[in-house]
Amino acid sequence: MKIKKLSLQVNFILLVLFFLIPLTSEAGILEQVENELVELADQVRPAVVSLSPYIAKGAIGQGLPNKGRPANAGAGVVYNAEKGLIVTNSHVVRSVNKIKVTFKDGREIIGEVLGADKDTDLAVVHVLSETPLAEVKFGDSSKVRVGQLVVAVGNPYGLNDTTTFGIISGLKRENVNLSRYEDFIQTDASINPGNSGGPLLNIKGEVIGINTAIINYAQSIGFSIPSNMVKHVVEQLVEHGEVHRGWLGVGIDPVTEEVAKQTKGQKGVGVIINSVFEGDPADLAGLKVGDIILKIGGSDIDSPNKMIRVIGAITPGQTINMDILRDGKSRVVPVKLESRKNKTQLLADLPPLSPSGLGFSVETPGKDTNLPNGALVSRVNPESSAGLKGLQSGDLIMAVNGEPVENQLEFDRLLGEIEKGSPIFLLVWRNDEKFHLGLVREN
């Protein structure tokens, strides 16, 4: 059952509410606006479901993960009614194969998790229903603009079928440290725990985002995954059970004012390569440290996160043209991307990293190295945050959050005092130069 489009437009509502409401007709116009919003909510809510951990009768813990945190209660929205596909957040179905799906009319169906993608916090659940399902149309998030009116539907704090109203507060939010591929829509529509996986809708009743998180220490700041990213990920999860992403094999940094002067580039335009991993696509294509990547497949690159998203959206095995700046001159370099999954499998065969959870291991420098005191980086996972930000084997960590590091034991001690989710600032020494590297402790 398709949700019909509503004719009410954002500009019309804003003009009515703020500029064109005569006192004599105020009640009638407001009532019209109210009726339109009620109609939107009534049509959308049947397609929004509640998701909660599944525990089979007579089997304690069956359906729940054997280790780690259990699945959290959350929301989902019917993506394809005919095929019984529901989209939600990956953290809602964390480590489970089955989950209980509760519909607005009270029906409960045990759904199967077809696939989950931690890097975008998206997952797909499949249900078999004898009753036809309602579904909502997924709109084009590239057309979303700041100031648009939006509606969020979910199950905050277990209060099923909750609808809130607000505006788009910001677009293309990144560096929020919620997932690897960040391009969030920010909204002030009230989003609370339990809204995760529910839809963010425009006033036509189209899904423009999947609500994913809030900032606990701030009010009226919520984030949604853009619908265009959702559609791309869902298609791959349904077809493959996982997402296949391209892999380039470089470490990158933003182009600062100082870098721009040294490279004859422009501040904030492109990203500079600070390391090239031997044998990876960038190395095979001839990319070098110091090259500035300006465009990938025609898409402008203005930040490390933007480049990571663009590369991750390209099918492995595909050859793309990269516009780069080298020695002040522009050139185009074709690069054939590998599969990030294959790279991950190769890395998994290497000895385990230190228990820091930061994606690299350290050791105390040998006396014959003539290095100053510190913790020597012995290996870096190139797809970790540290690797993507340019940390290399052979770098020397001299301080953690301003505290001097004498050796590996001192590094481990200082790291152990930092809570999960807290920032970590490393003072790194390389080639007789010092620089700072910012990370976030994830576990």
Mind listing the pLDDT tens digit for each residue in 321-332? 999 999 889 999
**Per-residue pLDDT, 425:** 83
Q: What is the CA radius of gyration of the chain?
A: 25
Residue 78 scores a pLDDT above 70? yes
Query: With respect to CATH, is domain 246-342 assigned 1.10.150.20?
Result: no
- Please state the rounded mean pLDDT for residues 146-161: 77
Residue 335 scores a pLDDT above 80? yes
Residues in CB range of 160: below 8 A, 6 or more apart: 50, 102, 104
- Please state the rounded mean pLDDT for residues 104-131: 89
Query: With respect to CATH, is domain 350-440 assigned 1.10.4010.10?
Result: no
- Please state the rounded mean pLDDT for residues 427-432: 84
pLDDT digits (tens, 9 = 90+) for 255-307: 888 888 888 888 889 998 887 887 889 989 999 888 999 999 988 998 888 88
Q: What share of the chain is helix, strand, coil (3-state, %, to 5)?
A: 25, 35, 45
State yes or no: is 275 an active-site residue. Answer: no
State yes or no: is 232 an active-site residue. Answer: no
The residues of the chain that CATH labels 2.30.42.10 are 246-342, 350-440
Q: Which is the catalytic residue, given 117, 121, 183, 291?
A: 121
Residue 115 scores a pLDDT above 80? yes
- Please state the rounded mean pLDDT for residues 79-102: 89
State yes or no: is 299 an active-site residue. Answer: no
- Please state the rounded mean pLDDT for residues 81-107: 88
Residues in CB range of 316: below 8 A, 6 or more apart: 244, 245, 246, 247, 337, 338, 339, 340, 341, 342
Q: How confident is the model at residue 194 (pLDDT cuts 50, 70, 90)?
A: low
Of the candidate CATH numbers 3.30.1230.10, 3.50.50.60, 2.40.10.10, 2.30.110.10, the domain formed by 141-240 belongs to 2.40.10.10
Q: Report the distance separating Cα 285 and Cα 275, nearest Å.
A: 14
Residue 124 scores a pLDDT above 80? yes
Residue 351 scores a pLDDT above 70? no
Query: What pTM, to 2 d.p., does this model score?
Result: 0.64
- Please state the rounded mean pLDDT for residues 344-350: 43
The residues of the chain that CATH labels 2.40.10.10 are 141-240
Q: Which is the catalytic residue, given 50, 91, 179, 190?
A: 91
Q: Which is the catalytic residue, given 50, 179, 196, 275?
A: 196
Closest Cα to residue 316, out of 235, 251, 247?
Answer: 247
Q: How confident is the model at residue 381 (pLDDT cuts 50, 70, 90)?
A: confident
Residue of 10 and 259 predicted with greater confidence:
259
**Per-residue pLDDT, 215:** 62
Residue 63 scores a pLDDT above 70? no
Q: How confident is the model at residue 352 (pLDDT cuts 50, 70, 90)?
A: very low
- Please state the rounded mean pLDDT for residues 356-374: 78
Q: Longest Cα pair distance anywhere in the chain, in angstroms?
A: 88
Do β-strands 108-117 and 48-53 pair in parallel, antiparallel, or remain unpaired?
Answer: unpaired
**Per-residue pLDDT, 393:** 84
Residue of 14 and 108 predicted with greater confidence:
108
Report the percentage of the chain scoring pLDDT > 90: 17
- Please state the rounded mean pLDDT for residues 306-310: 85
Q: Are 288 and 260 within 8 A, CB to CB?
A: no
